[in-house]
Structure 1
Amino acid sequence: MSARTGPFWDGVEGRAPIPPAAATLGLEFIAADTENATIELAFAATEDFTNPLGNVLGAFLSAMLYDTVGPALLATLGPDEFQSTLEIKVSFLRSTRPGRITGKGRVVHRAGDLAYLEGVLLDSGEALIATASATARVIPLGAAGNAP
């Protein structure tokens, strides 16, 4: 069996650095099931991510969800493909403190170059913190420089 390649897999396998934004979030790859188009990641929410009350700021939770749903799709793509997020909707369900946060994402449906994605964040006690739904377009890797 040949190794998977492409921007996502090269980062996961250590053949390339992970993106700086993902590194800032403390992204850790846990598992991907490409057949079922699901992914599990973890993030290290630090004190630097908090608001004046000591809770992790929603913008950081949104970034974690963005870095969960996108990779759910990326893990299923070929080495010459990338994805561009067209929209994302985040719902915050409860506040959380700094610590390990788990992200679980999945490709709900793909029709041609459009994909519909969902993701959740769980705190260290497995309580649901936030959810997201997103739409993304599969694009050629060479066009990724123009993607958001």
Structure 2
Amino acid sequence: MPPSYSTPRTPPADMPFPPSARLLGWTLEHFDDNTGLLRVRFDGKPDFLNPAGMIQGGIQAAMLDDTLGPALWLTSRGRLYAPTIDMNVSFLHPAAPGPLFGEGRVVKLGRTIAFLEGCLYDKAGTALTRATATARVQQFDASRS
């Protein structure tokens, strides 16, 4: 079960906040500078439901992608950005509408490639979706955000 963080934290003022993050209801819950673990909250909106009444898998993958990228950005203290090259997603349980929580971290950061992993949880702490990703490390250019 993931750790529980009760107080949302304000993201750094220079942290990029793209329209996709707004659409998904992205809110920073916690970032641990020592472990590099990021926890964010998403809104599992009715607009995201598939015909079975659960959050569509592509939306869950987008939530995890929007967890992993910021984990790298925060770990590097805003110096690095890493577009995803490859992402493997495993759907463990259906995701019901409501609050969802993404946790992500940098597994290994190389000069040109980063390896990332994350998991999406429901409010009860059930692991719903897991992802591993490979990303291309680049210097962050704030003028592009």
Q: Give the TM bin, normalised by the shorter chain.
A: 0.7 to 0.9
Mean Cα deviation higher: 110-119 or 120-129: 110-119
Over the matched positions of the two proteins, sequence identity in percent amounts to 36
Distance 1:99 1:29 in 2: 16
Give the superposition deviation at 1:127. Answer: 0.7
Query: d(CA) in 2 for partners of 1:34 and 1:113?
Result: 22
Give the match's secondary structure for 1:63: helix
Give the equivalent residue in structure 1 for 2:70: 71
Q: Distance in 2 between the 1:100 and 1:93 partners? A: 17
SS at 2:59 equivalent: helix
Structure 1 stretch 109-118 or stretch 52-61: which is displaced more? 109-118
For residue 111 of structure 1, report the CA deviation from its aligned partner.
2.1
CA spacing shift, 1:141–1:17, aligned 2, 3 Å: closer
CA shift in 2, pair 1:80/1:103, >3 Å: closer
Q: TM-score, normalised by structure 2?
A: 0.84
Find the counterpart in structure 2 of residue 48 from structure 1.
Answer: 47
Q: Secondary structure of 2:123's partner?
A: coil
Residue pair 1:12, 1:18 contacting (<8 A) in 2 also: no
The match for 2:3 is: none
Q: Which residue of 2 aligns with 1:4?
A: none
Q: What is the match of residue 111 of structure 1?
A: 110
Task: Report whether the alignment pairs 1:25 with 2:24.
Answer: yes
Instruction: Tell me if the contact between 2:68 and 2:105 (Cα under 8 Å) persists in the aligned partners.
Output: yes
Q: Which runs of 5+ in 2 are unaligned?
A: 1-9
Closer, same or farther: CA 119–22 of 1 in aligned 2, 3 Å: same
- The answer to whether residue 35 in structure 2 is matched with residue 36 in structure 1 is yes
Unaligned runs of 5+ in 1: 1-10
| Secondary structure of 2:61's aligned partner | helix
How many Å separate the matches in 2 of 1:79 and 1:97? 33
Q: Deviation per CA, 1:81-135, whole angstroms, max 9, x where unpaired?
A: 3222111110001112110001010111112231111000001111110000001
Do 2:29 and 2:39's aligned partners in 1 also have CA atoms closer than 8 Å? yes
Question: What's the CA shift for 1:38?
Answer: 1.3
TM-score (norm 1): 0.82
Q: Which residue of 2 aligns with 1:12?
A: 11
Query: How many residues were matched structurally?
Result: 135
Contact in 2 for aligned 1:116/1:134 (Cα 8 Å): yes
Over aligned residue pairs, what C-alpha RMSD do you find?
A: 2.1
Work out whether residues 49 and 55 of structure 2, in 8 Å CA contact, stay in contact via their aligned partners in 1: yes
Note if contact 1:102-1:122 (Cα within 8 Å) is conserved in structure 2. Answer: yes
Q: How does 1:59-138 map to 2 (within 5 A)?
A: 59-138=58-137
